[in-house]
Structure 1
Amino acid sequence: MKALLIVDVQNDFLPGGALPVKDGDLIIPIINKLQKKFSFIVATQDWHPENHGSFAANHGGHEIGGFVQLNGVKQILWPVHCVQESQGAEFHQDLDKEKWIRIFQKGTNPLVDSYSGFFDNNKNGDTGLSDFLKSEGVRELYVCGLAADYCVKFTVIDGIDEGFTTYLITDATKAVNLQEDDFEKALEEMEDHGAILLDSSSI
C-alpha cells in the first residue's frame, strides 16, 4: 500500500510566520490536489515546548543562525516557532485535513531537536510513525511539505532507512535555503540515499 506523508505545513513555516519558508504557501494547492490520489494520508507536526533548546531565545547572547552543543549534538539556533498550542503550530487553514488518518508530533523533547518525522536528531526518540505505517501495510511513502532542506530531507532519509520505498514530490516542497543552493543540495542528498524524485503530475 502507498501513503502520502505531509510534513509540517504549519503557520510558522509559511509566509508571515516565525520561521517562514519563501513561497511555502504555494505548495498547499498542490498538496490538496495530491490528497485526492491517496486513500492513506498521515502528517507530521512540529510541536515544541517553550523552553526548547533549539530556540536562540533560550540561549542568552546567542543569535539566530548561531550554533550550540545540545545534548551532544551541534545545534543551529532557530527563532521561537511551532510552540505547543500556539497559532504558529497550527496547520494552515487552507490545507485540507479531512482525510488524514493520524498526526505525528515531533520536537516535544526540549533537550533535542527533531527534524525527521520518524526520530529525533539523536535517534533516541521515536514518534511511532514507522511502526504505525508498517502495521497498516504501507510499503511506499510519498513525501511532501516543509522544508525540503531540513524536516522533509531527514524524513525522506529515515523513511528509506526504515525500509520504505520513498518518493519525494519535488513540486510539493520548498526549502529554507539558508544558503542559496540548499534546495538543490537537499534533492541530491535524498536521491543519493535512494529517494525517487518525481513531480506531482506523474502520480
Structure 2
Amino acid sequence: MSHILSSHAALIIVDVQPDFMPGGALACHEGDAIVPGIDELLRSRIFRHVLATQDWHPRGHISFASSHPGRVPFEQIDLYGQPQTLWPDHCVQGTPGAELHPAIDWSPLDAVIRKGSDPGVDSYSGFRENHGPAGARPSTGLAGWLRERGVEEVFVCGLARDVCVLWTAQDAVELGFRAHLLWDLSRPVTLDTDAATRTTLLTQGITITEASELRRE
C-alpha cells in the first residue's frame, strides 16, 4: 500500500546515535542496519519537513543504573510513582556515542530536538519528557514547531522501536497528529518486544509502513 506524502507530512528520525548501535553503550538489535536506508531517505528529499531527536544526557542522569548504588542495567525501579528502567550510561553530552550517526548526511534536517537533558527526568518521546509536575509532561517544543508549519501527519523511524520510537509515535497521536511508523527503518532493543509493539501501534491507530511505500504528492 503506497502512502502519498503531502506538504503537511514530516519525518521524525529518533535517536540514530552510535551508542545505540552494535558495540555501543546501549546497543539495539541490528541498530546499524537502518543507517543506509535513513541516509537514502534523507537524500531523496521526499519530505518537506525533516527533524531528528538526539538523546542528550548529562553525566549521572537518573536513568543510569550507575546513579543507583546496588542496581544493575535493565533493572526496574519506581520513580515518581512510575516504573523506570535503569539503563547503561549512554548518550552522555559531548561524547562520540551521543552524536548523530556520522554515516548519514544530515544536511536536509530542519531541526534537532535534544531530549533527556534534565538530570532528574528521562525522556523517551521526542515530544514530551516522561514525567512532570502534577502529572503534566513537559514539552520539548516539537509539537509547536510542527503545528507552526502546518504539519498534520508524521512518519517516525529510528531507535529504539520498542522505546523512544514507540513513545514518539504514541505522543504524536495523543497530540493530534496522524502517525505512521516506518518499520523497516527502526529496530528494537530486543526482538522479544516486537509482537507487543505491533499490537500497541495498531490498537492506537498508528499505521505500520515501510520507506519503499512512500510517494510524493
Q: Deviations over 1:93-132 (max 9, x none)?
A: 1112010000001111121111100011125221000010
**What's the Cα RMSD here?**
1.1
Partner of 2:179: 166
* Separation (CA, whole Å) in 2 of partners of 1:12 and 1:125: 25
Q: Deviations over 1:177-201 (max 9, x none)?
A: 1xx5302211220121110111111
Identify the range of structure 1 (70-79 vs 4-13) with the bigger mean alpha-carbon deviation.
Answer: 70-79
Partner of 1:43: 52
List gaps (5 residues or longer) in structure 1. none
Structure 2 counterpart of 1:70, from 69, 79, 99: 79
Deviation at 1:158, TM superposition (A): 0.2
Confirm whether residue 4 of structure 1 aligns to residue 11 of structure 2.
yes
Partner of 1:124: 137
Alignment of 1:47-196 (within 5 A): 47-122=56-131, 123-177=136-190, 180-196=191-207
Which AA in structure 1 matches 2:100? F
Q: Deviations over 1:134-184 (max 9, x none)?
A: 00111110110000000000000000111111111110000001xx53022
The list of structure 1 runs, each at least 4 consecutive aligned residues, that deviate by more than 4 angstroms after superposition, is: none
Partner of 1:34: 41
- Number of aligned residue pairs: give it: 201
Q: TM-score, normalised by structure 2?
A: 0.89
Contact 1:53 1:70 (8 Å CA) reproduced: no
Q: TM-score, normalised by structure 1?
A: 0.95
List gaps (5 residues or longer) in structure 2. 1-7
